[in-house]
Structure 1
Amino acid sequence: MNFKMLTMGAMALAMMTGSALAGSSTGTSALDDPAKMSPFFTDAGMKTMKSQADFKTSWMAMKPEEQKAVLKDCGDTTLNKSHSDFCTMAKMMGG
């Protein structure tokens, strides 16, 4: 009986760990998602940001949960370094 419980527990742990790793395996944040970020930039390489007015228009077009995800990622210091200009504008728009 104990062996059966240990086996079931190990399988449950493996399934939970596997699904957690699968969700984070993409390694992309909202700041690295071209579909979310392209409306804020004027070029395909996403190097030149739009004006503040155009940025605000694009920001308001985002869903609230997407805005929260972007702001959360902007709070991450490692992601914020590579997107500092964008995060500055996003924080002005959304908090």
Structure 2
Amino acid sequence: MNIKAICLSAFALSILGSVAFAGGLDEPSNMQPFYADAGMKTMKSDREFKAAWNAMSKDKRNAMKKECNDAAMSKPYAEFCVKVHQLGGNS
């Protein structure tokens, strides 16, 4: 096998693998309901956050809880994860 084919295969696998690593916290459509602005810089009030959280499917909530419990994954979403933990997401 030549080097070009090996490099192309490695590149293709890395592209496919990166999609698998993207989690619920990385999906703007999952995160938008929790922010008051389009730039997703300002969190909604606790009451609005809880309403958005309860409106999500249980599967999405569980995936987000799991990611918030992972120190490396939750670091960029610290403010969000604090609110998830307040809602009982640290179990």
CA shift, 1:25, in A, is: 2.4
Q: 2:23 aligned with 1:25, yes or no?
A: no
CA shift, 1:45, in A, is: 1.4
Q: Aligned residue pairs: how many?
A: 75
Identity rate, percent: 40
Task: Give the CA RMSD over aligned residues.
Answer: 1.6
Q: 2:69 aligned with 1:75, yes or no?
A: yes
Q: 2:37 aligned with 1:43, yes or no?
A: yes
Q: Which has the larger radius of gyration?
A: 1
Aligned partner letter, 2:67: D
Contact 1:29 1:73 in 2 (8 A): yes
DSSP 3-state at the match of 1:56:
helix
Contact 1:67 1:94 in 2 (8 A): no
CA shift, 1:93, in A, is: 1.5
After TM superposition, which residue ranges in structure 1, 4 or more long, deviate above 2 angstroms?
A: none
Runs (5+) with no aligned partner, structure 1: 1-17
Larger mean CA deviation between 48-57 and 69-78 belongs to 69-78
Which residue pairs with 2:5 in the alignment?
Answer: none
Runs (5+) with no aligned partner, structure 2: 1-12
DSSP 3-state at the match of 2:87:
helix
What is the TM-score when the length of structure 1 is the normalising length?
A: 0.71
What is the TM-score when the length of structure 2 is the normalising length?
A: 0.74
